[in-house]
Amino acid sequence: MVTSQTKAVIMMTTYNGEKYIEQQLDSLIEQTFKNWDLYISDDGSNDQTIQILERYMSQDHRIKKILHHSDHHGAFNNFYNVIYYVKSISNEHYQYFFYCDQDDIWDKRKMATEIECLRKEKKPALCYSDLELITGEGIDTNNKMSDFTDIDVTDNPYNLFFSYRYIWGTTMAHNRLLWDQIYVDKNTGKYNISHDNYIGKYAAIMGQISFINQPLVFYRRTGNNVSGTPGKYGGKFGILKRLFTKLPQIINQHASVYSDDLYFIKHLDKHTIFTNELAEAIRRGGLTSLKFLKKYKIQTSQSKISNLSIRLILMSKVYKRTITFNRKIL
């Protein structure tokens, strides 16, 4: 059960967030679960973000430290900076782990709801929720992320290894058992790996993933977000048009996913049959990869054309010739 000794840590990243950061911090302070500490990594803000953070820090002892990120800049890398820091300090008193963007707003019961979801698990476990989309001005659009794309990966967690579309970091939480499995070093950030997808893979291989089918985060769309909202492309012809007009981008996205997979597999303490076969499928491509997809029933979208594109890219091995793929795995 959740007791007064139950404690969580929130890891947050910021960069020139003065316009929205106060609303996010207020939503953390208003959480019904109160026993948390906050660590923040700032990626070199040149607006009033640091001053705002320092003001809140002086008023709330739970805001423990503001890190000034200096290496491997970028949103994903900034997260690894704070993750690595929390890994490096004495953190045994934290049982639950959360990740926070600077411009969203958390439902006041987000932490309590996710801790309740995780507390009975006796193995590494991660949960995540849906998101409610709001405009840059904070107006509710009455749209959820699940209205645009299927974000429930629980039926087949192995789909995580072929798409970034599922787990959105600001919605997720996980337990201590999963935290102890996650490998991060000083250089992890330079590979520009999506931290939420990376952490989700550990849960997919070693434990349990749960999806909370309700929005626990108000997800602000400002036009400058690192993660875009999946679009509706007008049926199969719209998807075909996107496939051909954005083919280089799609190939690079696949290359990034597969190189991230290889990084994850390389740093696993214990490999499984799945991870061994996945590494072989990525390195060889061609028929080996197609047999792998069939064996593990990989389907990352309800669209037949979208799933066909995965198979064509793997079969052709075109991803192996991209700078994205080769730079990451060297």
pLDDT by residue (tens digit) across 76-105?
Answer: 899 999 999 999 999 999 999 999 999 999
Please answer whether residues 75 and 13 qualify as being in contact, where contact means their C-beta atoms are separated by less than 8 angstroms: yes
**Bigger pLDDT: 220 vs 239:** 220
Give 279's Cβ-side CA count (13 Å radius). 13
Q: What is the full DSSP assignment across 144-158?
A: EGGGTS----TT-GG
Q: How far is the C-alpha of 61 from the C-alpha of 37, rounded, in Å?
A: 8
pTM of the model: 0.91
Q: What is the full DSSP assignment across 71-116?
A: SS-SHHHHHHHHHHHHHHS--TT--EEEEE-SS-EE-TTHHHHHHH
> In the predicted model, is pLDDT for residue 230 greater than 90?
no
Hey, which residues does 65 pair with through a beta bridge? 39
Place of tokens 């061994």: 276
Q: Give Cα 267 distance to the centre of its chain.
A: 18
> In the predicted model, is pLDDT for residue 237 greater than 70?
no
pLDDT mean over 130-136:
95
pLDDT by residue (tens digit) across 169-217?
Answer: 999 999 999 999 999 998 898 888 999 999 999 999 999 999 999 999 9
Measure the N-to-C terminal CA separation of the chain; round to a whole number of Å.
Answer: 46
Q: Give Cα 60 distance to the centre of its chain.
A: 27
Residue 137, Ramachandran bin (φ over 0: left; ψ between -120 and 50: alpha; else beta)? alpha
pLDDT by residue (tens digit) across 53-69?
Answer: 999 999 999 999 999 98
Q: Any idea where the domains of the chain sit in the sequence?
A: 8-221, 235-329
Angle between helices 247-266 and 273-284 (to 10 degrees): 140
Give 259's Cβ-side CA count (13 Å radius). 23
Strands 96-100 and 36-42: unpaired
**232 band by pLDDT with thresholds 50, 70 and 90:** very low
CATH topology for the 8-221 domain: Spore Coat Polysaccharide Biosynthesis Protein SpsA; Chain A (3.90.550)
pLDDT by residue (tens digit) across 303-319?
Answer: 788 888 899 999 999 99
pLDDT mean over 109-121:
97
Q: How far is the C-alpha of 162 from the C-alpha of 298, rounded, in Å?
A: 8
- Which positions ≥6 away from 178 have C-beta within 8 Å? 97, 124, 125, 126, 199, 202, 203, 206, 207
Q: How far is the C-alpha of 243 from the C-alpha of 238, rounded, in Å?
A: 9
